[in-house]
Structures are given as structure tokens and as C-alpha cells.
Amino acid sequence: MAGEAKDDLIISARVRIVAGELEWSFARSSGPGGQNVNKVNSKAVLRWRAVDSPSLPDDIRQRFLVRFQSKLTEDGDIVIASDEYRDQPKNIAASQDKLREMIQQVLVAPRKRKATKPSLGSKRRRLEGKQRQSEKKEGRRPPAE
């Protein structure tokens, strides 16, 4: 596509996060890796300001902020870290995939629940169940004199 930045994060046809909005930092990763793990900053930490990102339409932003409220910082940033892999580019891609997956979860608005009435059959079954329970309890009572 013409004018497309290489590092933009494409979520859907409607949502694209410009690379300039994503802040990256790198740290030493924990876990296996031998002596190399002490020398290389392979852990990728992605910070994205979701609260006022111009890349998200308002409806999607509201659903995102509600859905992931517990993962937001006080400033309204989302912080995603990845140290699954032993090399930095794979961890960058993993962090981007995590963010992409989070946004895809809120792309489509949930359908409104349409109120319905219970069917006649379900009403009948419920009442029959209550009657059976009543008869069972009635059978446990001592005979009346």
C-alpha cells in the first residue's frame, strides 16, 4: 500500500497503529541462554498510550479501556513485555502480536441481548419439577392424625 510505514502495526482495515506511537525499551531477559543472557538485551517491553491514541476510533477505544482496565497504568498506558525468545526481533514481534490480539478482542461491539420469554414447554417442565419436589418432601412428613 502506498504511504504505508514499514513498522506500523496493522490490526484491521479500520485500525492501524502508527509506529511512532509505540515506545520500545529493552532489558536483559531471564531464563535459559547461558552466558549470552548476561550480555544481550533481548527482552522487549512495549508501551503504548491507549487513552489518547489517534489510531483507535472512539468506540473501539472505549471498549479497549473497559476490557483491559486492570492492565492499564495510571497514565493510561498499556505495557506489554516479552522475553519468550532468545533474540530481540522475535520478542518485538511477540509483543506486537499480544497487542494486536488485545485490540482484535474489542474490534466488534458485542450484540445487545434481546429479551425473550420462556417457552410454554420450559414453563411446564419447571412446574412439573416443582411438583415432583413437593411430592418428594410431602412423602417425608409423618402421617396426619
The boundaries of the domain holding residue 85 are 9-105
Q: Report yes or no on 118 lying in a domain.
A: no
Q: Report yes or no on 125 lying in a domain.
A: no
Backbone angles phi, psi at 16, to 5 degrees: -145, 125
Whether pLDDT at 1 is above 70: no
In sequence order, what are the residues at sequence separation of 6 or more whose Cβ sits closer than 8 angstroms to the Cβ of residue 8? 16, 17, 18, 19
Say which CATH number the domain at 50 has: 3.30.160.20
Tens-digit pLDDT profile for residues 45-103: 999 998 888 888 899 999 999 999 998 899 889 999 998 888 889 999 999 999 999 99
Q: Report yes or no on 126 lying in a domain.
A: no
Confidence of residue 109 (pLDDT cuts 50, 70, 90): confident
Average pLDDT over every residue of 131-138? 95
Q: Report yes or no on 87 lying in a domain.
A: yes
Q: Report yes or no on 31 lying in a domain.
A: yes
Q: Report yes or no on 64 lying in a domain.
A: yes
